[in-house]
Each structure stands twice: as structure tokens, then as C-alpha cells.
């Protein structure tokens, strides 16, 4: 497979399957459960190993992280990647690499809850912040200050699926000497390649769609060699490097990313359209439904006009009936994660967004009747039938 470019699904099977210095190649990726690597020989060998950034101690470098980084770098069309202990480990390390006391960050106001908390904590270290609607490029532009160094947000907002115009945001960032850093966890590079659209760094919680099997916690950051080198130096000091076993699990899962995402997006599209037609559903947030407000943007930037496999929909805010609906569902179940092969739901008003003041919830569209769905790989007709019978709770 050397030097030849095949199509995405094929490449993803082979990228990163070689270990430097290893002359046997097992069919499945080997796992290096070791904290250090022996350097046989004398001080000259020790010296050259450090100089050439060879394998020494596990926190700095490990073949499993390199193998996974190669796959992620291919997926994102970047130059290099760093693999972290979690998505939050990636976000924290990247932001603390490019921001220091006196700098300003503009961040999306619908970010993942812990990312908002992280930015608030960063203000205790002298880093100023402004939260704005990330789907409104003009609002982002207006928030720029002379000390703005980073513009940070998510490609699709949680839970109402408002899309960010990455191209426009990259332009604003670069005109003002700032970096555009994007968390693409909800959408994945299968549906949009943020670096190709001008983002400087793309971050993923690999815990979600990229691993897809709900069994590992891990994160990544991808960008140019120059930027990722800086991130890797900090990562080693902060100790946020990804653990070996989780890294190995994610690299195994990634071989089927194309298959999974194709099915998950196809299912999300079919389920969204079926929900849209259901008389008990007030609103569906997904780009392929009739009244989705950012259809043009979705078509321009996202694969087949679809932003991955996350959607949300609104039922009447009647708790007893929603409870009944949830009990009637046979396939889709409640789980506080997303991106797995099984369809799961979450209820933002009582979980991820429970601490927001009521007026904030209202302005973000988070009603008692809003459910967020992470669509899995089940048969689409089974899923639609399951939701249809459960919605009879509202008859």
C-alpha cells in the first residue's frame, strides 16, 4: 500500500499499520503494553535515540499512539496528530498551548458543558473569554479584540444542530492573527474536513463516533506539523497522553469508521424525515428535514448535506407522556454518551443543560420535550417503527 492513494475505506484499513523499527508485521495491530523501551548499547546510542525522538518513555512517545495518529491524520487530512487521554485532555492541552495570560478567546456559547467550564477556569489564569453564537459568523467577527488569539467552537451545536460556517470563521480568525480551533466530535471528518475548510486545529473526542463502540475514552488534535509539535511538547509535560490499551481499541475500531458512519448518517436522515411526518413531533433538528434553516450551508460544507448522525426533536412538554414514551421505546435507550453503534438518547433539560437558567434554556431551544438522539447502525425500518409505536404515548 506504500505511496499509493486508494479510496477512503481502503486507506483507513492500512494507514498506520507499520511500526517503525519492527520487521515483522502482524495482521492485527500489536499492542505495546510497556512503560519504557530498552536502549541497548552505549551513551552514543542513548544520545541518538533522544536526538531522533525515538521510543524512550511511554508518556513522550509510544508506537500505538503513532499508529492511531497516522490514521487520524489521514482521516482529517492534516500533517500530524496528538492522541490524548480524553477529549477534555485534548481541549485543555490545546487551549493551554496557544493561550497565555492576557490573551482573549472567542468561544461558541453552546459548547460541550465541560468545555465551557474549562474556559471559565482558564479566566482564573488571566485568559479572557467571550461566548458567542458560533453559527453566526458576524457575531464572532464583532467579538474580535486586539488580543484575540483563538476562536474556538463546535461544527454542529448540541443539542439543536446549528452549523458553523468553518470557511467564514477561518477567514475571520486569519484576518485577525488568531487560530481557528474546532471540536468536530459530533460530526466527524467523515462528514466534514475542517482543516480543508481552513481550521488550524481539529479536535475530536475519540470516545464518541470515531471509536463507535462505547468502550474507550480518548481524544485527538490534528493540524500542521508546526502546531502539533507545540501541542505534543505540552502534552508530555501535562501528562494528558492517551493510554495504550484505549489507543489500541480506537485504532481497531477506526477500520470500520466508513461503514459505520455511512449507515448511521443514512439512518439519521431516514429517522429525521419519519419523525418530521409524525403528528406528535413539533420540530426536528437535522439538515435533511423540510424546515431546517441552514440547508444551504449543510449542502455547501457537509458530505451529502448531512452533519453526521446526531439529531434532536421536540415533543409536547408533558413529562408524564414523555416518561411513557421513553418506557415504550424498545431499541433506543437512555445513555449519557453518543456516537456508539446502538441508538441512544439524552434529555438535555434534565442532564447536560440542567444547570442553565430557564431563560438561557429557552433561548437555546431546550424545552422539556426536546430529546437528543445519537443514531446507531440498526436497521432503519426497525428504528422508525420503534419511535412510531412509542410516540403513541401522545395519542
Ligand X SMILES: *Cc1c(COP(=O)(O)O)cnc(C)c1O
- Residues labelled as active-site residues: 59, 112, 183, 208
| Minimal distance, residue 341 CB to ligand X, in Å | 16
Positive or negative torsion for Cα 292, 293, 296, 298: negative
The residue (of 112 and 292) whose beta carbon lies closer to ligand X is 112
Which runs of E-coded beta strand occur in the chain? 80-84, 104-108, 128-132, 148-154, 179-183, 201-205, 219-223, 283-285, 310-314, 333-334, 344-346, 370-374
Q: What letter does residue 394 receive in the DSSP assignment? A: G
Cβ 306 to ligand X shortest distance, Å:
17
Q: Which is nearer to ligand X, 141 or 193 (CB)?
A: 193
Displacement of CA 354 from its chain's centroid (Å): 22
Q: For 64-128, give the DSSP string.
A: HHHHHHHHHHHHHT-SEEEEESSHHHHHHHHHHHH--TT-EEEEETT--HHHHHHHHHHGGGT-E
Give least dist CB 218 to ligand X, A: 7
Nearer to ligand X, 217 or 257 (CB): 217
CB 93, CB 239: distance < 8 Å:
no
Residue nearest to ligand X (CB): 87
Q: What are phi and psi of 152, to 5 degrees?
A: -135, 130
Q: Which residues bind ligand X (CB under 6 A)?
A: 86-88, 112, 115, 154, 183, 185-186, 205, 207-208, 217, 219
Query: What are residue 180's phi and psi, to 5 degrees?
Result: -100, 115
By beta-carbon proximity to ligand X, the closer residue of 217 and 289 is 217
Q: Cα separation of 135 and 281, whole Å?
A: 25
- In the bound complex, what is the minimum distance in angstroms from residue 88's beta carbon to ligand X? 4
Name the nearest CA neighbour of 131 among 162, 284, 139, 174: 139
Cell digits of residue 68: 492511531
If the CB atoms of residues 34 and 351 are measured against ligand X, the closer one turns out to be 351
Question: Which residue matches cell numbers 505534543?
Answer: 232
Closest approach of Cβ 190 to ligand X, in Å? 15
Decide: 144 and 101 in contact? Cβ < 8 Å: no
Q: Which is nearer to ligand X, 88 or 281 (CB)?
A: 88
Write down the least CB distance from residue 84 to ligand X, Å: 8
Amino acid at each position: 500500500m506504500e505511496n499509493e492513494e486508494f479510496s477512503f475505506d481502503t486507506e483507513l484499513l492500512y494507514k498506520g499499520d507499520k511500526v517503525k523499527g519492527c520487521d515483522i508485521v502482524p495482521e492485527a495491530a500489536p499492542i505495546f503494553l510497556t512503560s519504557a523501551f530498552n536502549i541497548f548499547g552505549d551513551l552514543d546510542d542513548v544520545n541518538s535515540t533522544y536526538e531522533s525522538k525515538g521510543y524512550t518513555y511511554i508518556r513522550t512517545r509510544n508506537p500505538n499512539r503513532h499508529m492511531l495518529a497516522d490514521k487520524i491524520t489521514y482521516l482529517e487530512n492534516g500533517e500530524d496528530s496528538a492522541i490524548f487521554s480524553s477529549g477534555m485532555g485534548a481541549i485543555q492541552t490545546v487551549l493551554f498551548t496557544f493561550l497565555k495570560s492576557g490573551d482573549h478567546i472567542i468561544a461558541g456559547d453552546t459548547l460541550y458543558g465541560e468545555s465551557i467550564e474549562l474556559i471559565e477556569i482558564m479566566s482564573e489564569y488571566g485568559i479572557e473569554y467571550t461566548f458567542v453564537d458560533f453559527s453566526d459568523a458576524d457575531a464572532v467577527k464583532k467579538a474580535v479584540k486586539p488580543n484575540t488569539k483563538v476562536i474556538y467552537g463546535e461544527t454542529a451545536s448540541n443539542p439543536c444542530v446549528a452549523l458553523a460556517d468553518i470557511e467564514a470563521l477561518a477567514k475571520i480568525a486569519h484576518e485577525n492573527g488568531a487560530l481557528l480551533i474546532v471540536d468536530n466530535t459530533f460530526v466527524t471528518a467523515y462528514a466534514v474536513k475542517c482543516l480543508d475548510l481552513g481550521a488550524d486545529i481539529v479536535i475530536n473526542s475519540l470516545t464518541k463516533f470515531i471509536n463507535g463502540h462505547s468502550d474507550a475514552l480518548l481524544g485527538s488534535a490534528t493540524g500542521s506539523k508546526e502546531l502539533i509539535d507545540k501541542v505534543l511538547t505540552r502534552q508530555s509535560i501535562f501528562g494528558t497522553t492517551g493510554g495504550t490499551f484505549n489507543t489500541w481499541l480506537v485504532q481497531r475500531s477506526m477500520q470500520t469508521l466508513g461503514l459505520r458512519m455511512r449507515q448511521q448518517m443514512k439512518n439519521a436522515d431516514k429517522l429525521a424525515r419519519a419523525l418530521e411526518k409524525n403528528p406528535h413531533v413539533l420540530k426536528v433538528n437535522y439538515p435533511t428535514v423540510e424546515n431546517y434553516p441552514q440547508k444551504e450551508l449543510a449542502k455547501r460544507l457537509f458530505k451529502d448535506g448531512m452533519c453526521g448522525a446526531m439529531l434532536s426533536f421536540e415533543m409536547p412538554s408533558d413529562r408524564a407522556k414523555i416518561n411513557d414514551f421513553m418506557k415504550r421505546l424498545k431499541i433506543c435507550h437512555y445513555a449519557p454518551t453518543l456516537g456508539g453503534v446502538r441508538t441512544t438518547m439524552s434529555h438535555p433539560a434534565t442532564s447536560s443543560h440542567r444547570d442553565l437558567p430557564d431563560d438561557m434554556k429557552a433561548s437555546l431551544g431546550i424545552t422539556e420535550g426536546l430529546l437528543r438522539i445519537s443514531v446507531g447502525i440498526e436497521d432503519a425500518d426497525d428504528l422508525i417503527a420503534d419511535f412510531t409505536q412509542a410516540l403513541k404515548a401522545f395519542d
